[in-house]
Amino acid sequence: MPGFREHITGSTIVGISYGTAAWYVGEIPPLTCLLGAGLCSVAGMLPDLDSGPGIPLRESVAFAAAVVPVMLLPRIQQISMPSEALILVCAGIYLAIRFGVTYLLKQFAVHRGMFHSVPAAAIAGLTAFLIFASEEPIRRYFVASAVVLGFLTHLILDEIWSVKLGMFGPKIKKSFGTAVKFLGNEAWANIVTYLLLIILGALAVSDAAVNENLSVVRQQMEQAARQYPTYPTTQPLYRR
């Protein structure tokens, strides 16, 4: 199967192509394109979080622990709280991801389980959508799609490496079909995965509806401001 280098290289190439294409079309700002390319690259390591201690687990969790609080900052700032409380909340999120997620993965993750699945890619994308806040809905869809794309790149590379070319034609390894899948071998893992997918999907739909409505209201207000500009009023001068 492909190693860390092959996965990170593949997802990075896909991420750069994805970000460049979005920038070329012109609908996505350059900074958002750069963010999407970076997230796509890192998402290429996510399926290997179930492989136990190693580079993918260490690097992915450390990256998520650093980036997630920053991406959540606009949402947290909507809640009025002192600066000290804001710092403590971000630090708590970092510690929960850095050590809590690592512990859970080591205890319950099974290699080539539901982490290597299409529903897991959707969960990763929905999580990114809920974390990333933007006034423009298209930017949130772009970032979430970048994470899904990087995740699926990993799965597809695993399937490609499961086919070995020999002297008498291609040989299919036993691992073929264990990456790009919708169901795993354990019922409880399937139930938890799809339950989480439904919950996150419902939250994302609700949040997207609110985001779309606010975007429409903001556009209407901007259009009205352009059509009916306000001019500074001056006090009339009276002569005696």
Write out the two tokens for 25.
């079309």
Question: Which pLDDT value is given to residue 198?
Answer: 96
For residue 54, the 8-state DSSP code is S
Domain assignment of residue 210, given as a range: 4-53+110-215
Task: Quickly tell me which residue has 């036993």 as its tokens.
Answer: 174
pTM for this entry:
0.82
> Cα separations (Å) of 78 from 73, 74, 93, 98, 235?
9, 7, 17, 25, 39
Round the CA-based radius of gyration of the chain to a whole number and report it.
Answer: 23
Question: Which pLDDT value is given to residue 194?
Answer: 94
* 104 CA to centre of own chain: 20
Q: For residue 34, tell me if it sits in a domain.
A: yes
Q: For residue 83, tell me if it sits in a domain.
A: no
Question: Which pLDDT value is given to residue 2?
Answer: 65
Q: For residue 121, tell me if it sits in a domain.
A: yes
pLDDT digits (tens, 9 = 90+) for 157-182: 988 887 776 655 566 666 666 678 88
Burial of 160 (0-12, 13-18, 19+ CB in 10 A): middle
Give the count of domains, the chain: 1
The residues near 91 (Cβ < 8 Å, ≥ 6 apart) are: 69
> Rounded to the nearest 5°, which phi and psi values hold at 103?
-65, -45
For residue 44, the 8-state DSSP code is T
Q: For residue 80, tell me if it sits in a domain.
A: no
Q: For residue 154, tell me if it sits in a domain.
A: yes
Q: For residue 174, tell me if it sits in a domain.
A: yes
Question: Which pLDDT value is given to residue 169?
Answer: 57
Q: For residue 10, tell me if it sits in a domain.
A: yes
> Rounded to the nearest 5°, which phi and psi values hold at 170?
-70, 145
Q: For residue 30, tell me if it sits in a domain.
A: yes
Question: Which pLDDT value is given to residue 171?
Answer: 66
> Which residues of the chain fall short of a pLDDT of 70?
1-2, 51-54, 108-109, 111, 165-178, 218-220, 222, 228-240
For residue 115, the 8-state DSSP code is T
Q: What is the 3-state secondary structure (H, E, C) of 125-173?
A: HHHHHHHCCCCCHHHHHHHHHHHHHHHHHHHHHHHHHCEEEECCEEEEC
pLDDT digits (tens, 9 = 90+) for 29-72: 999 999 999 999 999 988 887 766 667 777 778 888 888 888 88
